[in-house]
Chains A and B, each alone.
Chain A
């Protein structure tokens, strides 16, 4: 457990000393969402209908953008080799890197989402449900993303490959999360969607660190 916290604090330290790698995806998130009112229509009726979808797509792409850096630096400088050679469980070390990734991208996205929701005329109920879906599903995005990131770690210019690998796995989350928000706006019951997102989180939490560990070992070969 100690090594989990130590790896987590190491990753957070690195991010604090090199903030641009964390800020780039967040800026992308803010900019892409705020361009939609200019391009589509500034009318409240139109925007509030598509707000949840826009914010969800943008946050998914922002997470995707940040995944490249998850293992890349540690691979380049040889720390990843030391992690594999360590007697500590590799999935645990990976889980702590994923936690750091979520704290640095997922949490800021959740905290920014109400402001962007208001910008797109999302009502109070919608903003609340949007934040709940983000809270439930952004950890899954980091977890599933780690599988892709570990598969492509030694490959040059792999951004496109990462999207191809990961986006299909993100699609169910996107569908259920954005439909939860739009149904909540009509006052409908959304427990089914929330349960699905929760199941997805539990499944990815149980499998992703192990799959990533295997993928990383293959990439290091």
Chain B
């Protein structure tokens, strides 16, 4: 069983301290919802956990593998504010590249993943022609087929219609049922079971 342990974390932006002495643990099958006002450091926290930003102090470990080690990064999927899609490439090409950055996934599975998020027939559409919600769905498809154990989702429900929100909640539920763990930030209420909430 995996667990993500955060110990005594401190984060600074410029000269101001955003949070300090932050410690928590998330075990397999658990969902952690991170709430807080704008500017309270939700995104900074997720970026530190994703290995993109550096913490001022403290450590982050997944089963004794520290953040930024290969073993850690392999198990983590970070979904940021931006869609991480190139406008010139098709949905499928974007998915192939994004997943290759973690685990390469075979094309039929990727097309299936696009179908599952409601983008049937959009595989060969260039992303410049997609709406904000559809772009969000493409990157979510990439998340759903990835083999990462830890999902770090920054505002995953942005730009999604009610049906899309339901798809994401189901996927998080399934992921955790299969032994994964998920941390996400949101300003909306969420009805996910097994959910803990921390406030920054």
Residues of A at the B interface (CB closer than 8 Å) are 2-3, 6-7, 10, 13-14, 17-18, 73-74, 76-79, 81-88, 217, 220-221
Question: A86 contacts B73, CB within 8 Å?
Answer: yes
Which residues of B are found within 8 Å of A217, using beta-carbon distances?
Answer: 54
Which residues of A are found within 8 Å of B173, using beta-carbon distances?
Answer: none
The 8 Å CB contact of B84, one of A17, A18, A81, A220, is A81
Question: B100 contacts A77, CB within 8 Å?
Answer: no
Question: B82 contacts A17, CB within 8 Å?
Answer: no
Question: A86 contacts B86, CB within 8 Å?
Answer: no
Q: Which residue of A lies closest to B70 (CB)?
A: A87
A18 to chain B, nearest CB (A): 5
B24 to chain A, nearest CB (A): 21
Residues of B at the A interface (CB closer than 8 Å) are 47, 50-54, 70-71, 73-74, 76, 78, 80-89, 93, 96-98, 100-102, 104, 126
Which residues of A are found within 8 Å of B50, using beta-carbon distances?
Answer: 81, 85
Question: B98 contacts A10, CB within 8 Å?
Answer: no
Question: B78 contacts A77, CB within 8 Å?
Answer: no
Cα–Cα distance between A73 and B50 once the two chains are bound (Å): 21
Q: Which residue of A lies closest to B47 (CB)?
A: A81
The winner among A3, A18, A77, A87 for most chain B CB atoms within 10 A is A87
Which residues of A are found within 8 Å of B97, using beta-carbon distances?
Answer: 6-7, 10
Question: B86 contacts A85, CB within 8 Å?
Answer: no
Question: A84 contacts B83, CB within 8 Å?
Answer: no
Cα–Cα distance between A115 and B96 once the two chains are bound (Å): 40
Q: A2-B100, A78-B80 are in contact. List 7 more A-B contacts (CB 8 A).
A: A14-B89, A18-B88, A77-B83, A85-B73, A85-B78, A87-B102, A217-B54
Which residues of B are found within 8 Å of A3, using beta-carbon distances?
Answer: 100-101
Write 22 A-B pairs (CB below 8 A) sorted by A numbering.
Answer: A6-B96, A10-B86, A13-B93, A14-B86, A74-B86, A77-B82, A77-B84, A78-B81, A79-B84, A82-B101, A84-B51, A85-B50, A85-B51, A85-B52, A85-B101, A86-B73, A86-B102, A87-B71, A87-B74, A87-B102, A220-B52, A221-B54
B158 to chain A, nearest CB (A): 13
Question: B104 contacts A73, CB within 8 Å?
Answer: no
Which residues of A are found within 8 Å of B52, using beta-carbon distances?
Answer: 81, 84-85, 220
Q: Which residue of B lies closest to A221 (CB)?
A: B53
